[in-house]
Structure 1
Amino acid sequence: MPMQDPNRLLVIMPAWNEGETVGNTVREVLAQGKDYDVLVVDDGSSDSTGALAEEAGATVLRLPFNLGVGGAMRAGFKYARRKGYRQVIQVDADGQHDPRDIDRVVQGLKRADIAIGARFAEAGNYKVSGPRKWAMSFLAAVVSRLAGEKLTDVTSGFRAANVRALDQYIDHYPAEYLGDTIDSLVVAVRSGCTVTQIPVQMRVRQGGVPSHNPAKSTIYLLRSVFALGLAMTRRKSQVNSGKA
């Protein structure tokens, strides 16, 4: 299998029935004019997600059935490592993550193994309230203490990773959609990976049907609190030195 230029960045885009938005999102990413390659992980879509992503210029990895974001990302991480990429970033196919922020988030890898594009860090006007706010604040406080770094948005999927984090994710990234962002982050931190955050502004969904309405989002966050407890019981793993 041919290896990629180690200086190129792989943008991993999990997508399930995102035919309305994925093509434009891929084109926006490629229009940045950077050394970005885009991998769309078509997570068992029943629409034209895969075909539209290819038409826009992405490489498409098609999964035979829907695994959820965790399973799709794990497949993307394995693809990245086999192809020789040394840096990856997750970008949502629905257009909420602004491609103009990709480079800024990836720059965080100069000082940490994982860089989070954070919605609550002096950028944008993204706000939550009620149980969602309480759950997110609690999660951020616990993970910040574990990481030794102030983090405000630990459930953000807009995250970049270097080789050390990538290898750890391949072994331990949860395939199930139960607080996958929290579980993977906590295990990575407890295994020795460092984390930083970069302020970003989240955009509104560019089209399609959101997988989470407010009620489901609240349930997801409460499940994330439960996932945090499970993550604290998982065994640590040894991360490598970052060399291929």
Structure 2
Amino acid sequence: MSFLPTQRVLVIMPAWNEEEAVGATVAEVLATDAAYDVLVVNDGSTDATAAVSEKAGATVLNLPFNLGVGGAMRAGFKYARRFGYTRVIQVDADGQHDPRNIAEVLAGLEHADICIGARFADRGDYTVSGPRKWAMLVLARVISKVAKTKLTDVTSGFRAGNERAISQYLDHYPAEYLGDTIDSLVVALRSGCTVIQVPVEMRPRQGGTPSHNPMKAAIYLGRSVFALLFAFTRKRSVIPATQLPIALATGE
């Protein structure tokens, strides 16, 4: 049995202990466009994330233990390939990504293989400061040179990919800290994928606890530089410009 390409969009939502927000986020995404299918990758949660997500209408992929965003997204890309999706987009389970912006980010795939929903592109009032801001500025400047286009928010997780991007991610999508944003983006660029960004607005978390504090911000600076350097040591993938149909046997 095989699965043929579909015109539907897979919204991949990695979630770890997000029972407070994930239900409303799933429902809002599904209400935004009938063509969106939501896959919640339950990343080893110890709360009711899976049950809440399923009740809200999402398909739930349960991981046996916490793998981090990188591992959760890799599982999501495998699901996308298995079931024939040619367009995917990552959306945070905490409600910070506005579902009304999904169409705008997806529209960027008409011009590139990967489109980033950028928080620092003259739209909205999202700001960062201190070491975290310095790290983001340095990362954006370096990766913009690799991409040969101006990127202002290379650590944004609000990003979409086409069939070519999915193929590259399946070949290489790291699970390390910041690997899901910096590392994956650099390797995709060096493998021939094209990247653009579109401005989006961020919203406050709809529930749960923010993951950043002053100590973590300082650690972020060091880890981000390390992640960038490490990304340039990764092997490149050979991804042809034109992909074959992605129908796969269930036994893959």
Name the stretch that deviates more: 4-13 or 61-70.
Answer: 4-13
Q: What's 2:35 paired with?
A: 35
The one-letter code of the counterpart of 1:18 is E
Q: How many angstroms apart in 1 are the aligned matches of 2:220 and 2:4? A: 36
Normalising by structure 2, we get a TM-score of: 0.93
Q: Is the 8 A contact 1:67 1:176 kept in 2?
A: no
Q: How many angstroms apart in 1 are the aligned matches of 2:96 and 2:213? A: 15
Gap regions ≥5 residues in structure 2: 246-252
Q: What's 2:58 paired with?
A: 58
Q: How many angstroms apart in 2 are the aligned matches of 1:243 and 1:34? A: 27
Q: What's 1:202 paired with?
A: 202
The one-letter code of the counterpart of 2:143 is V
Aligned-pair identity (%)? 70
Q: What's 1:140 paired with?
A: 140
Cα distance change on mapping 1:206 and 1:193 into 2, 3 Å: same
The one-letter code of the counterpart of 1:242 is Q
Q: Is the 8 A contact 2:13 2:90 kept in 1?
A: yes
Name the stretch that deviates more: 97-106 or 1-10.
Answer: 1-10
CA offsets, 1:155-179, max 9 Å, x none? 0000000011111111110022244
Q: What is the CA-CA distance between 1:75 and the residue it aligns to?
A: 0.4
Normalising by structure 1, we get a TM-score of: 0.96
Q: What's 1:242 paired with?
A: 243
Q: Does 1:87 pair with 2:81?
A: no
Cα distance change on mapping 1:78 and 1:20 into 2, 3 Å: same
Q: Is the 8 A contact 1:162 1:242 kept in 2?
A: no
Cα distance change on mapping 1:142 and 1:178 into 2, 3 Å: same
Q: Is the 8 A contact 2:70 2:179 kept in 1?
A: no
Q: How many angstroms apart in 1 are the aligned matches of 2:231 and 2:39? A: 28
Q: What is the CA-CA distance between 1:63 and the residue it aligns to?
A: 0.3
Q: How many angstroms apart in 1 are the aligned matches of 2:62 and 2:17? A: 12
Gap regions ≥5 residues in structure 1: none
Q: How many angstroms apart in 2 are the aligned matches of 1:242 and 1:196? A: 20
Q: What's 2:122 paired with?
A: 122
Name the stretch that deviates more: 81-90 or 175-184.
Answer: 175-184
Q: Does 1:185 pair with 2:185?
A: yes
Q: How many angstroms apart in 2 are the aligned matches of 1:78 and 1:57? A: 20
Name the stretch that deviates more: 30-39 or 139-148.
Answer: 30-39
Cα distance change on mapping 1:107 and 1:214 into 2, 3 Å: farther
Q: How does 1:140-159 map to 2 (within 5 A)?
A: 140-159=140-159
Q: What's 2:12 paired with?
A: 12
Q: How many angstroms apart in 2 are the aligned matches of 1:200 and 1:236? A: 30
Name the stretch that deviates more: 167-176 or 194-203.
Answer: 167-176
Paired residues in the alignment total 244
Structure number with higher relative contact order (C-alpha < 8 Å, ≥ 6 residues apart) = 2
Q: Does 1:97 pair with 2:78?
A: no
Q: What is the CA-CA distance between 1:213 and the residue it aligns to?
A: 2.5
**Cα RMSD (Å) of the superposition?**
1.3
CA offsets, 1:87-145, max 9 Å, x none? 00000000000000000000000000000000001110111222111110000000000
CA offsets, 1:190-220, max 9 Å, x none? 0000000010001111111123324314422
CA offsets, 1:31-68, max 9 Å, x none? 11330000000000000000100000000000000000
